[in-house]
Amino acid sequence: MTAASRSPRRALRILWRIQRMALLALLAHKARSAFVIAAVAMGVAALTVIVASVDGARRKALEIVDFFGPDAVMVLGGDIENRPVGQRIYTLTWADARAVARSLPGAYAVLPMRSIRQITLKYDNRNHESPVVVGATENYARAWNWPLAEGRDLSEEDVARGAKVALIGDEPARQLFGDASPLGRTIMVKNLPVQIVGRLAYRGLSGGGSDVTIDDRIIMPISTLTQRFNLDRKYFRGLRIKFHDPDLIDTHKDNLRALLRHLHHLGPTDNDDFTIISASEILKFLTAFTGGLVAFLGITAGVAIVVGGFVLANLMFLSVSERKAEIGLRKAVGASGAALTAQFLSEALYLTLAGSLAGVALGVALGESLSRLGLLQLRLSPKVFVLSLAAAVVIALVFGLRPARKAAAMDPIEALRGGDD
């Protein structure tokens, strides 16, 4: 009874006492230890990047959906999904917009829009190249859930008059005005003098991995844009529609589709000549994209971690056969098989933990440079650390156990003699 109650404490004390020796053994074989640490670090770095980038992608998807609004759809001219050859993308007309506004149940805002690029903005002697110049109807900021940092939204009157006014995004505002307020200033949009009436707040979404940010835009009344830049007067590119009830969005979409097919005189066998996008489509697309990323990075990280594990196992087998005399001696002086297993597993665990810390550091550095290059959006969380530590423990136990058991199973006489085992 006393032996039974004493024995777990005894095992713990031995476990504690051999730790110093385990560390000394690792220090005595620095090159080998460094090699294992590096191999594990590679795997954990890959794991860090994958977890961070998946989190980043998910967060970005949610931001985009949030920005888009769960209560809104966007209609674009042309069938984006099937892209029939030669199909026109200018298929949405003012008449469509009016009909939708008048007869689509549940819709409270219908906002036609179009945009142009390759325009230069000028203020004083400063230039800003090719922002997106958006033509929109009134209440653009409100319709996009986009707070104004200062000034006012586009008004009904602006649109009716074709006023030469604009909302300015954060990026061109900083390029042209620095820290000064752009309100009331007149900038040149190509050759057109336009007064800034409002500044959109910083949004900070990057456009799907490119270096175009969503903040790089100015918004003018669609009437002004059409007239002054000689755009087609009948058609526009897109239509944003907001509904009262986000829960009914699927029904709203069906109604909208039926209405547009009717307005465009499409027969039952004709394809849509427009595309309706809602938050769920965006989410679906982003999830598919993220899924591909997860699969690719997941396989990479898995392979890297298994490689790290094999390096650990091999170098531990090497260590066990090199340290036969030590193992035999330890057994001779009374180390049990369990104590030897524990020592070699401890050594393995120190190496994988060091590798895991180095790997997280490496992964963070790698992730930072990847997101700086705009290749990936990363989000580091405590989860990364927890996962890396778990990976370290799993690698040590899975790949370290066989060499450790081999050490424990050695016959002390054979081991001391240095013979084979």
Partner 1 sequence: MNAPADAPAAPAASRARETLIELADVTRTYVMADTPHTVLAGVTLDIAAGEFAAIMGPSGSGKSTLLHILGLLDRPTSGSYRLGGRDTGKLDDDALSRLRNQAIGFVFQSFYLVPYATALDNVLLPGLYSDTPGAALRRRGEALLAQVGLSAQAGHKPSQLSGGQQQRVALARALVNDPDLILADEPTGQLDSATSAEIMGLLATVNREAGKTVIVVTHDQATAAYARRQILVHDGRIAKS
Sole binder of partner 1 in the list 193, 413, 419, 421 (CB under 8 A)? 413
Give the residue among 358, 352, 360, 362 at the shortest CA–CA distance from 312. 352
| Residue 10 interacts with partner 1 (CB under 8 A): yes or no | yes
Region binding partner 1 by CB under 8 A among candidate stretches 24-32, 66-74, 222-230, 304-312: 24-32
Contact between 18 and partner 1 (CB under 8 A)? yes
**Strand, coil or helix: what is 137?**
coil
Interacting positions 273-332 with partner 1 (CB under 8 A):
325-326, 328-332
By 3-state DSSP, what share of the chain in percent is helix, strand and coil, each rounded to 5? Answer: 55, 15, 25
CB 116 within 8 A of CB 190: no
Q: Exposed e or buried b for every residue in 74-113, given b needs 16+ CB within 10 A?
A: bbbbbbeeeeeeeeebebbbeebbebbbeebebbebbbbb
Helix (H) or strand (E) holding 126: strand 126-129
Of 1, 31, 85, 333, the one binding partner 1 by CB under 8 A: 333
Q: Does 17 bind partner 1 (CB under 8 A)?
A: yes
135 vs 115: CA distance, rounded Å: 6
**What does the alpha-carbon distance between residue 119 and residue 176 come to, in Å, rounded to a whole number?**
14
Q: Does the footprint of partner 1 cover residue 34 (CB under 8 A)?
A: no
**Residue 312 C-beta: closest distance to partner 1, Å:** 20
Task: Decide: is 31 part of the binding site for partner 1 (CB under 8 A).
Answer: no
Q: Which of residues 335-394 bind partner 1 (CB under 8 A)?
A: 335-339
Least distance to partner 1, CB of residue 34, Å: 16
Nearer to partner 1, 36 or 218 (CB): 36
Site for partner 1 in 39-68 (CB under 8 A): none
Q: Please report whether residue 252 would count as binding partner 1 according to CB under 8 A.
A: no
Nearest distance, CB of residue 55 and partner 1, angstroms? 43
Q: Which two tokens stand for residue 299?
A: 């396989």
Return the bridge partners of 240, or none. 74, 111
Q: Which is nearer to partner 1, 86 or 334 (CB)?
A: 334
- For 42, 58, 407, the CA distances from 204, given in Å and listed in that order, are 31, 16, 57
In the complex, what is the shortest distance from the CB of residue 300 to partner 1, in angstroms, rounded to a whole number?
A: 37
In angstroms, rounded to a whole number, what is the distance separating the alpha carbons of residues 272 and 82? 9
Using CB under 8 A as the binding rule, whether residue 412 contacts partner 1 is answered as: yes
Smaller CB separation from partner 1, 70 or 337:
337
Q: Which residues bind to partner 1, rule: CB under 8 A?
A: 10, 13-14, 17-18, 21, 24-25, 27-28, 325-326, 328-339, 412-413, 416
